[in-house]
Chain A
Amino acid sequence: MFNILWSLFYVLIFPGALFTVAVGLLLAGIDRKVVARMQHRIGPPIRQPLYDFLKLIGKETIIPKAANKLAFLGAPFVGFVSLALIMLFIPIFGFTAFSTSADMIVILYLITIPGVALIVGGSSSGSPYAGIGISREMVTMMAYELPFVLVLLTVAKKAGGVSLAFSMDAIANWQAANGSMLFQWAMIPAAIAMLLVIPAEVGTQPFDVAEAETEICEGPLVEYSGAPLGLFKLNSAMKMFVMSALFVSLFLGGIRTGFILIDAIIFVVLCIIVTVLCMSTIHAISARLKIEHLFKFYWTFVAGLAMASLILVWCGL
């Protein structure tokens, strides 16, 4: 019973739902602010994503005639729950909520669920714009999956799990012993590749082909309104946090103060830096890609970087 209560606490409050939502909204706000400042604007207040979310909750929810009601309303919740759960597997330096021997694959698959939820939700709305949007979303997913997988394999190889290959704990422990992954020069291409994977996974500016509001009316989200839309917006904010947290724990781990609170604060600060570096900056300086260019970019340039790193690591560097 006590165990269940702890699990509940983990899932609902600390590394789970509430923490993820809070930090996610913070990151989304900072992202918007930084992008605005980089464009020489004042920009919205940092709490703007929260206002957006609250406003959308208060709006009417319209379910179009062609939509499948259950899938249409259920999809954002599924995405939300899976995002809240991912944080349980990402070690916050020393602390992991569900300490398991192998969780990289779990993370990899859980991260695809919000995307799938978006696709299923959009698809179920019956709009042709959504049809095009989900097609692009899926191609984006295929595009970044290759470099993402290569990066994960590289890190797994470097950290060298003891019994099973893909262990986040092993990576955290390795970094605690040997310093951050980023200081290994063989890992730098992989880190750059990962930084480029994050914006595509989250769907920020140059890689937001799936939700291009100016050409295909926000793609999968075209028919969404009210609370489900708010949840989708929340999901993308949470994704920002989850992805940057993944980066931090893969490449910037190794900090152990012993106090979980201080650890968490340092962790969030690092996440903010990652967000600003890879999402806001790229957003501010580039325009949206075409879908086939996006695919080519990820399967050649980014995958090439990650592959180079994997080969270097495989050679024992």
Chain B
Amino acid sequence: MMLPFLKKAVYNAFTKPSTEAFPCPEAEGLGEYRGRIAFNQDSCVDCGMCIKVCAPMAITRTEEKVEGGKNVTRTFDLTSCTFCGTCADFCEEGSIKMTTDYHMVATDPKDLLVSGVTFREDKGTLTCDLSGCIFCGLCMRNCPEGALAVDRKAKTWVLDEAKCIQCGKCIGKCPKKVLSFGPVK
């Protein structure tokens, strides 16, 4: 009853083992594999969408005041990441990419942090030229921080300055181009 196994075992013993070499060569056809996160700090607009959608809260954001604005540091903790890729999907600027690199091994935890620093100049308060505004609400829908409240019927446009992070997404989306940053205080 063990004969088939025996045959296989003897066959195996005299053929080349199917073991891969170590360190393993890059596997081909990884394609869709979601490995180490690559973050392009230059194209990031610090919209904060990635932080919002991250389920394991692996992305942290710290800011530091510098001359003419602030340095925003965005850190992706790979030992906390669940590699779902949602942040990459939500990043409008395409600053977050999931690479196929799976060598995420480190003795020092710092090696497993991916971070980037974005300089954000202080652009001033967002203002709206209410005369041109049609209160379509696109700006509100695209605001990552929920800082805008637009009422189409009552024809109001209200900005919560505390919430606004000056990402400027609303400016890009506005069909009438009535939004702009005001003077720097």
Q: Are B19 and A281 in contact (CB under 8 A)?
A: no
Q: Are A41 and B19 in contact (CB under 8 A)?
A: yes
Within the complex, which residue of B6, B15, B17 is in contact with A281, where a contact is CB–CB below 8 Å?
Answer: B6
Q: Are B13 and A38 in contact (CB under 8 A)?
A: yes
Say how far A102's CB is from chain B's closest CB, in angstroms.
38
10 intermolecular pairs with C-beta atoms under 8 Å apart? A37-B12, A37-B13, A37-B17, A38-B12, A39-B12, A40-B12, A40-B19, A41-B18, A284-B9, A286-B2
- Chain A residues engaging chain B, CB cutoff 8 angstroms: 34, 36-43, 281, 284-286
Known: A40-B18, A41-B19, A42-B19. A34 touches B13 (CB 8 A): yes
Chain B residues 1-50 with CB under 8 Å of chain A are: 2, 5-6, 8-10, 12-13, 15, 17-19
Q: Are A285 and B9 in contact (CB under 8 A)?
A: yes
Known contacts A42-B17, A285-B9; 19 further A-B pairs (Cβ under 8 A):
A34-B13, A37-B12, A37-B17, A38-B9, A38-B10, A40-B12, A40-B17, A40-B18, A40-B19, A41-B19, A43-B17, A281-B6, A281-B9, A284-B5, A285-B2, A285-B5, A285-B6, A285-B8, A286-B5
Interface magnitude class on chain B: 10 to 19
**What is the bound-complex CA distance between A36 and B19, given in angstroms?**
10
**What is the bound-complex CA distance between A106 and B183, given in angstroms?**
102
Residues of B within 8 A of A41 (CB): 17-19
* Closest 5 pairs between A and B when the two form their complex, measured CB to CB: A285-B5, A38-B9, A40-B12, A42-B19, A37-B13
Residues of A within 8 A of B19 (CB): 40-42
**What is the bound-complex CA distance between A40 and B2, given in angstroms?**
18
Q: Are B15 and A40 in contact (CB under 8 A)?
A: yes
Residues of B within 8 A of A36 (CB): 17
From B22, which residue of chain A is reached at the shortest CB distance?
Answer: A42
Residues of B within 8 A of A37 (CB): 12-13, 17
Residues of A within 8 A of B2 (CB): 285-286
Say how far A36's CB is from chain B's closest CB, in angstroms.
8
Residues of A within 8 A of B6 (CB): 281, 285
Residues of A within 8 A of B17 (CB): 36-37, 40-43
Say how far B132's CB is from chain A's closest CB, in angstroms.
73
Residues of A within 8 A of B13 (CB): 34, 37-38
**What is the bound-complex CA distance between A277 and B33, given in angstroms?**
44
From A206, which residue of chain B is reached at the shortest CB distance?
Answer: B2
Residues of A within 8 A of B10 (CB): 38
Say how far B8's CB is from chain A's closest CB, in angstroms.
8
**What is the bound-complex CA distance between A36 and B2, given in angstroms?**
18
Say how far B17's CB is from chain A's closest CB, in angstroms.
5
From B21, which residue of chain A is reached at the shortest CB distance?
Answer: A42
**What is the bound-complex CA distance between A41 and B15, given in angstroms?**
10
**What is the bound-complex CA distance between A284 and B8, given in angstroms?**
10
From A40, which residue of chain B is reached at the shortest CB distance?
Answer: B12
Chain B residues 36-91 with CB under 8 Å of chain A are: none
**What is the bound-complex CA distance between A66 and B2, given in angstroms?**
44
**What is the bound-complex CA distance between A46 and B8, given in angstroms?**
23
Residues of B within 8 A of A40 (CB): 12, 15, 17-19
From B6, which residue of chain A is reached at the shortest CB distance?
Answer: A285
Residues of B within 8 A of A42 (CB): 17, 19
Say how far A284's CB is from chain B's closest CB, in angstroms.
5
From B14, which residue of chain A is reached at the shortest CB distance?
Answer: A37
**What is the bound-complex CA distance between A43 and B17, given in angstroms?**
9
Residues of A within 8 A of B15 (CB): 40
Residues of B within 8 A of A286 (CB): 2, 5
Say how far B25's CB is from chain A's closest CB, in angstroms.
15
Residues of A within 8 A of B18 (CB): 40-41
From A36, which residue of chain B is reached at the shortest CB distance?
Answer: B17
**What is the bound-complex CA distance between A285 and B6, given in angstroms?**
6
**What is the bound-complex CA distance between A42 and B5, given in angstroms?**
19
Residues of B within 8 A of A38 (CB): 9-10, 12-13
From A37, which residue of chain B is reached at the shortest CB distance?
Answer: B13
From A282, which residue of chain B is reached at the shortest CB distance?
Answer: B2
Residues of A within 8 A of B9 (CB): 38-39, 281, 284-285
Say how far B1's CB is from chain A's closest CB, in angstroms.
10
Residues of B within 8 A of A284 (CB): 5, 9
From B5, which residue of chain A is reached at the shortest CB distance?
Answer: A285
**What is the bound-complex CA distance between A36 and B17, given in angstroms?**
9
Say how far A316's CB is from chain B's closest CB, in angstroms.
34
Residues of B within 8 A of A34 (CB): 13
Say how far B21's CB is from chain A's closest CB, in angstroms.
9
